[in-house]
Amino acid sequence: MRLLLAIIVAFAPLFGAKIETIKTYSQAMRKTIEAIVIAPDAADEKIASIYLLHGYGATPNSWLEIAKDELTIAADKRKVLFVLANGGVSWYIDSPRDKSVRYETYVAKELTAQIDAQYPTIASAKARAIAGFSMGGHGALFLALKHSDTFSAVGAMAGGVDLPPFSQYWGLTRLLGDLKTYREDWIAHSAINMIERYDPSALTIRIDCGRDDFFRASNAAFAKKLRDLNASFIYEERGGGHDGAFLKAALGDQLEFLIDAVKADKR
């Protein structure tokens, strides 16, 4: 896969995927939110879509800074639409403490509906995937497990899948409150605890994590839970830490996996 990407990146000018920033509206939060869409140059039929969720402190544009060529080429070669969603610093949840944060509703319901209305995408979970890095990896797994009627395939790269061990970081107390007081909310909003509550067999799942990543232990625990339930998934640890170099290395395998999942049988 890496050699293939290296070859096709060399011929990037031959492809004409369109990158545009669009304005979407969240009724749940009563505000306009920008997203970036990468659409293939031409498609003879309706196409699948893949939603990418950025990490904490990043933006949708961060994906273009790391992998613009890979994403535009994949869009054109495989005829798939990429949606680079904006999750702010929300961890992609509907916060039980801050009622102005409704990013679960926004991404899983509002954004997908607006994309399907504006672009020639297949309005079906079978042709819709979601993936993310770090905070976005948590969001992708959390949303996919809870909304398998919206997404059928999910990928996580170094996802922060277990929130309580990191309660002092990344604005989590603002979203979930004090851990001691609101422990049940912390548990309910951690992706690792969604496995028993929802059906992982409804999803095609791939998880990548760096061996030197501070989220490695929780990702391995997530994979163990899936394994104990006899769920079908791919879990791969590779060299690297929690950084852009790891993300760029993992993204090629993730894209190949997710595109194959949503384009199976030309859904």
Domains of the chain: 2-266 (3.40.50.1820)
Q: Is 158 left (phi over 0), alpha (psi -120 to 50) or beta?
A: left
260 pLDDT above the threshold of 50? yes
SS3 238: strand
Residue 246 above 70 pLDDT? yes
Residues 6+ apart with CB under 8 A from 4: none
Q: Measure the CA–CA gap between 35 and 86, rounded to whole angstroms.
A: 6
Which residues, in sequence order, are bridge partners of residue 85?
A: 53
Check pLDDT > 80 for residue 187: yes
**1 touches 61 (CB < 8 A):** no
Can you tell me the distance from the alpha carbon of 247 to that of 231, in angstroms, rounded to the nearest whole number?
A: 25
**3-state DSSP helix/strand/coil percent for the chain, to nearest 5?**
45, 20, 35
Pick the more confident residue, 12 or 31: 31
pLDDT band at 264 (very low <50, low <70, confident <90, very high): low
Residues 131/157, Cβ–Cβ less than 8 Å: yes
Q: Would you state the torsion angle of the CA atoms of residues 82, 72, 88, 154, taken in this order, to the nearest 10 degrees?
A: 40
Report phi then psi at 199, rounded to 5. -100, 100
For the record, the structure tokens of 10 come out as 């060399």
Tell me, what DSSP letter sits at residue 251?
A: H
Kindly report, residue by residue over 89-127, the tens digit of the pLDDT. 999 999 999 999 999 999 999 999 999 999 999 999 999
Percent of the chain with pLDDT over 70: 93
CA pair distance 159, 260, nearest whole angstrom? 22
41 confidence band (pLDDT: 50, 70, 90):
confident
Task: For residues 244-267, give the mean pLDDT.
Answer: 87
Q: For residues 248-266, give the mean pLDDT.
A: 88
Residue 16 has a pLDDT of 80
Q: Hey, what's the torsion of the CAs at 197, 201, 204, 210, to 10 degrees?
A: 60
- The stretch 210-225 carries a mean pLDDT of 97
- The strand ranges marked E within the chain are 18-26, 31-39, 48-53, 80-85, 128-133, 153-157, 204-210, 233-238
